[in-house]
Every structure is written in C-alpha cells, then in structure tokens.
Structure 1
C-alpha cells in the first residue's frame, strides 16, 4: 500500500491518481470502485460551478442501465455522504432508509453487486465533499465484504483520504471558457488594486481598452461584476497560475 500512496502523492494529473487508485483497490480485493469529489463549496454557485471529479471501473452494463449512478442527488447514499462521516455498507443504509430511497444501490444489487462499502470524505479537505464506493464483485455477499473490510479497511481509508487530498490540489475541469492572456493580465492587475487608468499605463493600452477586456472577461466567466470575475478566475486557477505566465513575467504585487 505504501507504494500506491507514494504514487498518488507524486501524481501529476487526475488520470494518474485514478489509475493508481483503481489498481490499489483491486489488489485489496475490491473488483470495482468509484470515486466522486466536489470542491470549492464555499464559493457561491452563481459564481463558481465546479465540475465534480468522478472516476470508476464499474461494469459497463451497470452504467448503461443507470447512467445517473453517480449523479442522483435524490439518492439516500448521496444524502448520507453529505451529512455523515465515516463508512457504512449498503445493507446497513438500506435497512435505515429503505430500498426505494436508494435506487442506485438497488440497481447494483439487481446486477449481483449487493455488497457495497460506502466511505464519506466530507471533512477531509476544507470546503469539499467526496465519496467512495468499494465493491468486492458480482455475487459476493455481506460476509465476504465484512472479511475484506476487516483486513483492508484501514488501508482503504488511508488510500481514500490520500486520493481526495491529491485531487484537491491538481488542475480540474471547471467547465468554463478559458480567458485570453490579456483578460488574465487585466484581471490580475485589478486584483492587485490597480485602477483602470493605472492598468492602462502598465500595459500600454487605453482605459477604454482595459474596460473592454474586463467586460469580455466577465462575459466569458458568466458573472456580472469585475470582483466576481477576479474571484472566479482565481478559484479556477486562471490567475497567477504558472502555466499561463512566462517565467520572466512579474506577477502583480502590492
């Protein structure tokens, strides 16, 4: 497990985290696994609509029959993750709330995957929530799951926390239009407290042109005000991100 943890910590992108996570869970005896994480929950949804990060190796036939498996907001397992810490198995959750309130788990059971362990990652990373499903495989019962969890539960929790924390630090798809380099410059200097006139002087353009780039940035980001544009550009890693700036460029400072 230490090698898997190190590989996740050293991962440069979400795809590598995914591959390592799925390999580690399979080695521990869980044939199928699913991860979902949502971040930037402290930012108003009117400003920031962060796209959830999800990956899994669930059977294709199950996904085809239930395309919304990891997007059913009414499903009680999602509610449980949002309101609780720790872990619970599907049988326990269904006993608490009823099968009619857990359609995705009921669907899994009808496909021979009644043994499912659910992990809540609600308080692992600030302003985020996450969930993991672990499934031993088809036609394996709760006793088999209990034995697996007894042997590997502690390792799975370490793996789950590491995955969620690493994904939180990696570039993610925010589902928005990328700003132009000039729009990033203008917003960057505005975030540093510079006026429109000062930004024009710094960049060698007219105040009217500065205003135009601010307007275009607001439109691209889908916000109403320049402060909202600055906030959204920052939380979507479009301001002061090394990928957008030459090494010789001086970023805005106080």
Structure 2
C-alpha cells in the first residue's frame, strides 16, 4: 500500500512537465504544417477564380495574357475564309432555287400553243358567225353586213346599260370579234337570236345586239372583246 502511494505521488509530480512537452510538440507540428503548406502552394491563379469582393460569375474570363502574338491574324484569316465559304454556298443555293422557281412558273408548250389562234377570214361569208376555241373559251367572229354596221352605229349609247360605241368595239366595222361567254353567269349565248338580232342567252334571258352590247336581261356588261389583230386582209390573229 505504501509503494502504491509513492508511485501515485511520482506520477502527479511528472504530469505538468508531460503536458508542457505535449503542448510544445503540438505547436511545432502546426508551424511545420503551415510552413510546408506555404512552400507547396501553387503560384498560378485560375482566371475563373472570383475575388472575395467581386464574385461576378457572369463575367467572361480574360485570357489575353495567355494569347500568342500571332493568334489574332490567323484567327481573322480563318473567319474570313468561313464567311466567304458560307457566302458562296448560300449564293449557289439561292441561284438554284430561283431557277427552279422560274422554270415552274413558265408556261408549258401546250399553253403557249393556245395563247394565239389564227383564223382565215376568207372562209367566213358575209352575214354569218363562226365559233372558235381560244384559251378554253368560245370566241364569236361575225362578218357583219352594211345594214348591221349601220344599225349598230345608230344606237344612242345613253340608252345602253353598259354604254359603249360600236367603233370602240371593232377594229374593222365588218368584223366583230367577241368572247362568247354571257356576262351574267357564264353561259354561251346563241347567235342570230334574241329581240335585237344579235345573241341570246337561254340560261336567264339576256339579249345582246349586233355589236354584242347588253340590251335586255340580267347580264350587267357587254360581251368581252379579246385582244386580236389583223395579220393581213384575210387573216385574223387572236391573242
């Protein structure tokens, strides 16, 4: 029992010295760690690292100090090359598209063939009508007599629904050329019929005179005059 007490007292006397040594060793270890950390710390600072005072994450990093002196010229040359190449490709594509569009819009051969019709007037006797087809529409050609010409010219245009002189509807008094479609609903009138000796539409009862002007019935306008010309004394070209 006496020996145990003596050992306890010896340990108590050595405890302060042990604690001091441990503290000194801990402090030395911390200093060494700090020194090694400072020596091994890298000197490179990332351009993506934001400062504590300015934490702007939307700012584009500045790489100007890492750029080569010749980088600017080579970069511009590449940009010019890309812009020129894209421009050439776009122009070629646009040219092809426009050409295809214009080709599709142009009239076909059969349409061009129907655009004009030539008629031999020598085959039409005086006082008779001839009906031909032009652009899918009927066309009346009337070889008028002298009496019919006088009758058409003597009408007072003030009394007409669609006032028009006979001289404004013909290029030669003896030849009357009209589109044979009623201006009411598009029926084909009958020649040498009606109350005025011209044309009569059986669909709704429109009457046209010997100049193709509306005189009676629901039709609002005179019969249409197409584009035509006389190639010579005996040939008529419509269109």
TM-score with structure 1 setting the length: 0.20
Higher relative contact order (CA 8 A, sep 6+): 1
Whichever of the two has the greater Rg, that structure is 2
TM-score with structure 2 setting the length: 0.21
